């Protein structure tokens, strides 16, 4: 016994209210008599009247109320039921890039689908099945169903994608689905990965029915394609690096071609020994444009034979320095002399309010924080007390750096972060939108020395320490210079005209404020479609085009994944194959306790009481009339 809706329990106080109503009515109600002449002979009985003496009508109303509240409480009693079920079969199908490798005349994915269909055809009518496709993320293709024809149809519709795989996640999801409701079942895994790659507990791995497909190892891949060109370099200074790797167990030949706007600018034939790699580089490009690297070997997987990049033109960037100190301007001017493409505009805080900023600018505020939000990416150095952005708690001196986030782009190539000069610093309260990049520590709390974050759609960096004269140009403070340059690079907004590089399997997020409905997405393969969310799931290699009235961009999606390219997938370590459990065929009988609600009969009871009350009232009325 129990109740499903305890929220209705407070309604029981209505019974108390009913009693109060009765007492009040009795106190208020008076019976008109022609005279008290004869009633003086009867002793007055105030005390007895004041007592709560319920009558039949009160009991009927209280019962009615109790029945209604009882119905609302949704009471239930547990009942044991026995149900006959078929077995569950969860089919996990690897749809990653390596499954597109050719095996004879068909692909590994087709072989996996054929085996999955055979499993489906062997199921009994009561059996339930579910299909999970796994690539970077698992996707439930069909929920648990006994409609085998529907599942077969969905299997036919399934397509592989150009991403890596996360088989563990898919198998964990399948195991969780299998054990739901205490049912028996089996998880079938269709993949080209060896069983040993699963990092699940051994007993769980042994429970799997493993269908491994593919034996071919014949693959040569473009393992990396890097274009080194920072924002201040022009295309002629850029350098392209290509790494070609042979994953086959025999030597392979091929040709590497580099095209700039579909015109070949570099071509080289190569011969690679078994499981060997070779790198190639090129520089001295004559113009900006789309770079396509291609290898043309005769192998089983074509996906990893091509990669895209973009060779950009150098655009002039402006750093607006707002500082009350002239020495910083002079120092930055000296730094900018060695950075072609960077212009410095130095102004005082008073002049800042009349200066117009372009979206491509970067602002540097030294000992000054404007009261209004700045619509460009900004670097704040040594913010003054009582500023609106970074509340200053205290002044500090001679702090030592104790912690920093090594993986952040701002600290790239910085080996001696603790060498930053920290003579004067301010202890800042961490704003909710910011994260600590470099920190020190007092006895009681962490002291942030550098903060990064994104506010109102713009990147913000704040250095809590001051820059002294010669800090940036002194060769002793190389760490600070590198940090400054890294910060500048991180703050420079990307040129919207330049395509963005993404890896397959990643999600591309639209900038804040961009309405997805107005955007048309044209993927590398497939038809153009309207974007429904603010995210683009990149699962194909090639060029994605996003076109809208206010926002447009191009994405270059590449696949550089050794795990996918190495299609040989040798079993490592213990190669002992666990015995495959046979398919359970007999239907299983499950006993479980289910709650049986009996709130509805209470409502019927309430209606009956109401009817009886009405009949009683009618009877009393007619009796009074007769009297």
Distance CA 196, CA 198 (A): 5
Q: Which residues of 179-209 are buried (b: 16+ CB within 10 A; e: fewer)?
A: eeeebebbbbbbbbbbbeebeeeeeebebbb
Q: Which residues of 112-141 are buried (b: 16+ CB within 10 A; e: fewer)?
A: bbebbbebbeebeeebbbbbbbbbbbbeeb
Given the complex with other proteins, which of 30 and 582 has the nearer CB atom? 30
Given the complex with other proteins, which of 45 and 572 has the nearer CB atom? 45
* Strands (E) located in 192-237: 209-212, 220-228
Q: How far is the CB of 58 from other proteins (least distance, A)?
A: 13
Given the complex with other proteins, which of 41 and 372 has the nearer CB atom? 41
Given the complex with other proteins, which of 36 and 574 has the nearer CB atom? 36
With H, G, I as helix, E, B as strand and everything else as coil, classify residue 393: strand
Q: How far is the CB of 59 from other proteins (least distance, A)?
A: 15
Given the complex with other proteins, which of 48 and 525 has the nearer CB atom? 48
Given the complex with other proteins, which of 550 and 623 has the nearer CB atom? 623
Given the complex with other proteins, which of 1 and 42 has the nearer CB atom? 42
- Is residue 300 within 8 A of residue 216, CB to CB? The reply is yes
With H, G, I as helix, E, B as strand and everything else as coil, classify residue 77: strand
Given the complex with other proteins, which of 1 and 41 has the nearer CB atom? 41
Q: How far is the CB of 34 from other proteins (least distance, A)?
A: 3
What is the token pair recorded at 625? 């009339």
Cβ neighbours around 106 below 10 Å, total? 12
Distance CA 130, CA 178 (A): 9
* DSSP state letters, 270-333: EEE-TT-EEEEEEE--SS-EEEEEEE----S--GGGEEEEEEPPP--EEEEEE-S-HHHHHHHH
Q: How far is the CB of 66 from other proteins (least distance, A)?
A: 25
Site for other proteins in 596-625 (CB under 8 A): 624
Write down how long the chain is: 627
Interface mask toward other proteins for 183-222; x: CB under 8 A: ----------------------------------------
Q: How far is the CB of 54 from other proteins (least distance, A)?
A: 12
Q: Which residues of 440-449 are buried (b: 16+ CB within 10 A; e: fewer)?
A: beeeeeebbb
Distance CA 94, CA 583 (A): 21
Query: What would you report as the CA-atom Rg of the chain, rounded to the nearest whole angstrom?
Result: 38
Distance CA 390, CA 94 (A): 49
Given the complex with other proteins, which of 33 and 586 has the nearer CB atom? 33
Q: How far is the CB of 614 from other proteins (least distance, A)?
A: 21
Given the complex with other proteins, which of 27 and 228 has the nearer CB atom? 27
Q: How far is the CB of 623 from other proteins (least distance, A)?
A: 9
Given the complex with other proteins, which of 372 and 624 has the nearer CB atom? 624
Distance CA 207, CA 389 (A): 57
Cα three-residue angle 32-35-38, rounded to 5 degrees: 120
Binding status of residue 157 toward other proteins by CB under 8 A: no
Given the complex with other proteins, which of 56 and 586 has the nearer CB atom? 56
Given the complex with other proteins, which of 53 and 577 has the nearer CB atom? 53
With H, G, I as helix, E, B as strand and everything else as coil, classify residue 155: helix
Distance CA 196, CA 215 (A): 16
Site for other proteins in 347-406 (CB under 8 A): none
Q: How far is the CB of 624 from other proteins (least distance, A)?
A: 6
Given the complex with other proteins, which of 43 and 432 has the nearer CB atom? 43
What is the token pair recorded at 113? 């689908």
Q: How far is the CB of 625 from other proteins (least distance, A)?
A: 9
Site for other proteins in 52-111 (CB under 8 A): 53
Given the complex with other proteins, which of 32 and 572 has the nearer CB atom? 32
Backbone angles phi, psi at 48, to 5 degrees: -70, -35
- Is residue 139 within 8 A of residue 133, CB to CB? The reply is yes
Q: How far is the CB of 57 from other proteins (least distance, A)?
A: 12
Q: How far is the CB of 40 from other proteins (least distance, A)?
A: 8
Which residues are CB-contacts of 311 (< 8 A; sequence separation ≥ 6)? 227, 229, 235, 238, 260, 285, 287, 288, 289, 290, 291
Q: Is 10 exposed, middle or buried (0-12, 13-18, 19+ CB in 10 A)?
A: exposed
What is the token pair recorded at 463? 């250095």
Q: How far is the CB of 23 from other proteins (least distance, A)?
A: 12
Distance CA 167, CA 447 (A): 42
Site for other proteins in 23-62 (CB under 8 A): 26-27, 29-46, 48-49, 53
Q: How far is the CB of 20 from other proteins (least distance, A)?
A: 18
Given the complex with other proteins, which of 35 and 199 has the nearer CB atom? 35
Site for other proteins in 247-286 (CB under 8 A): none
Q: How far is the CB of 68 from other proteins (least distance, A)?
A: 28
Q: What is the 3-state secondary structure (H, E, C) of 422-485?
A: CCEEEEECCCCCEEEEEEEECCCCEEEEEEEEEECCEEEEEECECCCCCCCCCHHHHHHHHHHH
What is the token pair recorded at 613? 């009350």
Q: What is the 3-state secondary structure (H, E, C) of 516-583?
A: HHHCEEECCCCCCEECCCCEEECCCCEEEEEECCCCEEEEEEECCCHHHHCCCCCCCCCCCCCCCCCC
Q: How far is the CB of 56 from other proteins (least distance, A)?
A: 11
Q: How far is the CB of 82 from other proteins (least distance, A)?
A: 57
Number of residues that bind other proteins (CB under 8 A): 25
Q: Enumerate binding residues for other proteins (CB under 8 A).
A: 26-27, 29-46, 48-49, 53, 624, 627
């Amino acid at each position: 016994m129990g109740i499903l809706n305890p929220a209705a329990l407070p309604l029981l106080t209505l019974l108390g209210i009913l009693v109060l109503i009765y007492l009040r009515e009795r106190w208020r109600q008076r019976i008109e008599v022609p005279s008290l002449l004869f009633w003086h002979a009867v002793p007055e009985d105030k005390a007895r009247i004041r007592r709560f003496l319920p009558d039949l009508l009160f009991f009927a109303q209280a019962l009615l109320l109790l029945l209604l509240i009882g119905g609302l409480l949704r009471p239930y009693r547990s009942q044991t039921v026995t149900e006959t079920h078929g077995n569950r079969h969860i089919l996990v199908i690897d749809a990653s890039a390596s499954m597109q490798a050719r095996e004879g005349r068909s692909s590994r994915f087709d072989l996996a689908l054929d085996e999955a269909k055979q499993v489906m055809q062997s199921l009994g009518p009561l059996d339930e099945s579910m299909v999970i496709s796994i690539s970077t993320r698992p996707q439930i293709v069909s929920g648990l169903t006994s409609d085998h024809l529907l599942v077969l149809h969905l299997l036919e519709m399934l397509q592989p994608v150009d991403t890596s795989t996360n088989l563990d996640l898919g198998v964990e999801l399948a195991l969780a689905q299998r054990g739901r409701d205490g049912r028996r079942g089996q998880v079938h895994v269709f993949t080209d990965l060896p069983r040993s790659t699963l990092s699940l507990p051994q007993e769980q791995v042994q429970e799997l029915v493993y269908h491994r497909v593919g034996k071919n190892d014949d693959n040569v891949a473009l393992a990396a394609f890097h274009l080194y060109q920072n924002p201040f370099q022009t295309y002629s200074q850029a350098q392209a690096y290509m790494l070609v790797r042979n994953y086959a167990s025999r030597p392979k030949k091929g040709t590497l071609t580099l095209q700039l706007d579909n015109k070949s600018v570099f071509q080289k034939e190569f011969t690679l020994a078994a499981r060997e790699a070779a790198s190639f580089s090129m520089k001295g490009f004559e113009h900006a444009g789309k770079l396509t690297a291609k290898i043309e070997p005769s192998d089983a997987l074509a996906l990893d034979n091509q990669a895209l990049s973009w060779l950009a033109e150098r655009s002039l960037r402006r750093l607006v320095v707002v500082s009350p100190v002239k020495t910083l301007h002079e120092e930055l001017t000296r730094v900018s002399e060695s950075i072609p493409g960077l212009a410095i505009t130095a102004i005082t805080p008073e002049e800042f309010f009349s200066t117009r900023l372009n979206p491509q600018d970067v602002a540097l505020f030294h000992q000054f924080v404007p009261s209004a939000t700045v619509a460009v990416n900004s670097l704040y150095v040594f913010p003054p007390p009582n500023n609106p952005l970074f509340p200053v708690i205290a002044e500090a001196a001679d702090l030592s750096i104790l912690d920093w986030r090594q993986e952040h782009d701002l600290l790239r190539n910085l080996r001696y972060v603790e060498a930053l000069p920290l003579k004067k610093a301010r202890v800042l309260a961490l704003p909710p939108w910011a994260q600590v990049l470099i920190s020190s520590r007092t006895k009681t709390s962490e002291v942030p020395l550098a903060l990064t974050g994104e506010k109102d759609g713009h990147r913000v960096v704040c250095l809590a320490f001051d820059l002294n004269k010669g800090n940036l140009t002194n060769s002793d403070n190389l760490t600070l210079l590198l940090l400054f340059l890294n910060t500048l690079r991180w703050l420079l907004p990307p040129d919207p005209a330049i395509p963005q590089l993404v890896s397959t399997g990643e999600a591309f997020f639209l900038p804040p404020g961009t309405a997805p409905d107005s955007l048309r997405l044209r993927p590398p393969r497939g038809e153009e479609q309207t974007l429904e969310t603010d995210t683009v799931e990149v699962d194909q290699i090639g060029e994605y085009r996003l076109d809208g009235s206010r926002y447009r961009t191009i994405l270059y999606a590449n696949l550089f994944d050794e795990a996918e390219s190495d299609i040989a997938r040798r079993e490592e370590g213990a190669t002992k194959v666990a015995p495959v459990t046979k398919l359970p065929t007999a239907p299983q009988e499950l006993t479980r306790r289910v709650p049986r609600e009996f709130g509805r009969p209470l409502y019927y009871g309430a209606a009956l009481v109401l009817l009886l009350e009405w009949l009683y009232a009618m009877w009393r009325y007619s009796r009074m009339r007769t009297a």
